[in-house]
Structure 1
Amino acid sequence: MKKLFLCAAMAMTFLCAKAQDAENTIKINPLSALIKTGSVFYERKLNDGVSLQLGLAYTGLKLDDVKFTGIAITPEARFYLKQRAISGLYAAPFLRYQDYTVTDGSDKGKYTSFGGGALIGRQWVYGSGFVLDIFFGPSYNSGTYKATQGNNEPDIKGGIEGFGLRTGIALGFGF
């Protein structure tokens, strides 16, 4: 029992020490669940001031009578201001690709878009490895809709098409 406890204590010490020098994070945005979307992010430190992050999301969002089902891919570059990447205040330009099946009553089609924006955020990486990331900023997406069933084009809005606001709180682990 003492050996098991000693091994566990050593492992926790190693993990905590590594977390302070984290060069990677894996995070989820629990707020996205409020709009029936699941999102996960992977961030990798490139140097003391820059990291790259890739976000993947799957949605089943419904706006009024229009339902969107599909994926979004969001790469971003993070520039940390006065702190070392990956913990601190940052500015981040991002791109976004969306590929959705859109259903509006009996009408159905495919919507694909490309867009981008800019974020300002603050990320904390604690000694335990816990990561908290708070971010917000404007975005713009422009896409095309192609009907596969029916003739009516649905009203695509809510930041999916045109101007919107990207915001969130991501929680995760640094390693």
Structure 2
Amino acid sequence: MKHTYILLLLSFITTFSYGQRDKSNLKTDFKNEVSLEIPQLINGVYQLSYERYIWNNFTATLGLGYKGKEGLVKISGLNANKVKTDEIFYTGYQIIPEVRYYLSQTSNRMLTGFYLGAYFKYSMYKSEVDGSYKNSNNQLYDFEFDTSASVASAGLMVGYKLALSKHFTIDFMIAGPGSGTYKFKFKNHKDLPNEFYEDFNEALENYSILDFINSDFRLSEVNRRSQFSAFSFRYGIALGYTF
């Protein structure tokens, strides 16, 4: 994540410097834009957004995204002493409404320049988790979970949108800190001993992909779900077409 963020900032600085050379041929009165987030394509996410100029440098945006199984970013399976799973694939969708305010002194036309914003993001994902479990008596069990995860987060946004040509723009969403609520559900298709859930909780707590949200999974045989609140962050680059 850190390397991606550094590359994002370097791209922003380079493109911003280049874009300041000549603005005279970029002035328009376009009030609509559709855009595609580029980095998310690497992870098989197709995120399209529609932005509309409202009034006095305020705009409203609605983003819709779909996550397929494809993507270069893979989630490794659990590899604990007692619990092991296969590589994890997931699919789902996300919805992001957003309000922005553009600083007029940094704009050469509508929908460009530095902006401040507020957003809400809702995501829903589903996955199948298959693996094996070895209890304290070295008995081996196979397990099959159908899992679902929903994330509802809200936060603030700062970014810069640069006009590349009369119709095309590039949007650098520099930083979007916020807070989110994470909900996970597990449906088990096979019988497992009671001690499995304690060992599974321990394996999830040590799962590296969850380190950044300080997760607190507590699953049991009766209640196969978990919910917690944690810090969230949004950033990215989007290529837009104005009209």
TM-score normalised per structure 2: 0.57
Change (3 A) 1:166 1:69: same
- TM-superposed CA distance for 1:38, in Å, is 1.3
How far did 1:91 drift?
0.8
Residue 71 of structure 1 pairs with residue 89 of structure 2: no
Which position in structure 1 is the counterpart of 2:117?
92
Moved more, 48-57 or 102-111: 102-111
Deviation at 1:124, TM superposition (A): 2.2
Higher relative contact order (CA 8 A, sep 6+): 1
Could you tell me whether the CA contact under 8 Å between 2:170 and 2:240 is conserved in 1? yes
In the other structure, the counterpart of 2:46 is: 38
Is the contact made by 1:42 and 1:53 (CA closer than 8 Å) also made in structure 2? yes
AA matched with 2:149: Y
The 5-angstrom pairing of residues 17-32 of structure 1 reads 20-32=28-40
Q: For 1:114-153, what aligned pairs fall within 5 Å after superposition?
A: 114-135=152-173, 136-150=175-189
The TM-score, its normalising length taken from structure 1, stands at 0.77
Unpaired segments ≥5 residues, structure 1: 1-16
Q: Distance in 1 between matches of 2:165 and 2:42?
A: 29
Q: Describe the shift of the 1:102–1:140 C-alpha distance in structure 2 as closer, same or farther (beyond 3 A).
A: farther
Once superposed, what is the RMSD of the aligned Cα atoms? 2.8
Q: Offset of 1:32 from its aligned partner? A: 0.5
* Amino acid of the structure 1 residue aligned with 2:124: D
The offset of 1:125, in angstroms, is 3.2
Question: SS at the partner of 1:115?
Answer: strand
User: How far apart are residue 18 of structure 1 and its match?
Assistant: 10
Larger radius of gyration: 2
Q: Calculate percent identity across the aligned residue pairs.
A: 25
Equivalent pairs, count: 159
Amino acid at match of 1:90: Y
Q: 4+ residue stretches of structure 1 with deviation over 6 A?
A: 151-154, 158-161
> Any gaps of 5 or more consecutive residues in structure 2?
1-24, 78-87, 131-143, 216-228
Higher strand fraction (1 or 2): 1
